[in-house]
Amino acid sequence: MSLFHCSSSRRFALPAIALAALVSFTFAAPAAAQEGEVSRVIAIQVYAQVHGSDDSYIYGVAPESEPVGVSPGQRLRLTLVGTGLIDGTGEEVEIPAGFNVAAGPSVDIIGRGDNWVDVFIRRNAGGVAGQIGYQVGDDYEMRREIRSGRIVLQVEEEEEE
């Protein structure tokens, strides 16, 4: 025995459709997720480029925490980028952030921009030369644990022959 009568289902068919349309409109994606725009950042990376070189290398920062290989006396530009979801596809996007020296006596910030920081690795550096802290603003939706973090600068061991 059915609890619903045929006549009652017809009476509520149109209001149910209207309610479904209202619910889907209410829970539609926010304006930032419109076609062609970043809806969410899912990872943070950094490009490391030695001053005077055209080569840059990318390192995973969050959630990977991959150390950036450096040498004593080097000047580097660290450019923060992210993997942003655009129309459901992961694409690289610039990540504006604030930077600071979070740890280590062997690294200095010597310049900065919206999504980059220039650093100098002191000549006496060894092991972990330092850590550059970053804090992303509210430009993008992302998990709290990747919104701020540290870029680890690890002195590379010279290979002996």
pLDDT for 69-121, tens place per residue? 999 999 999 999 999 888 888 899 999 999 999 998 899 999 999 999 999 99
137 inside domain = yes
Q: What is the DSSP letter of 94?
A: E
Quick check: is 10 in a domain? no
Question: pTM value?
Answer: 0.73
Rounded to an integer, what distance in angstroms lies between the CA atom of residue 112 and that of residue 7? 70
- Residue 73 phi, psi (nearest 5): 85, 0
Q: What are the residues facing 38 on neighbouring strands?
A: 86
**Is residue 22 domain-resident?**
no
Domain span at 118 = 32-155
Residue 13 lies inside a defined structural domain of this protein? no
Q: Is 80 part of any domain?
A: yes
| Percent of the chain predicted with pLDDT > 70 | 75
Number of structural domains in the chain: 1
Residue 147 is assigned to a structural domain of this protein: yes
Residue 5 lies in a domain: no
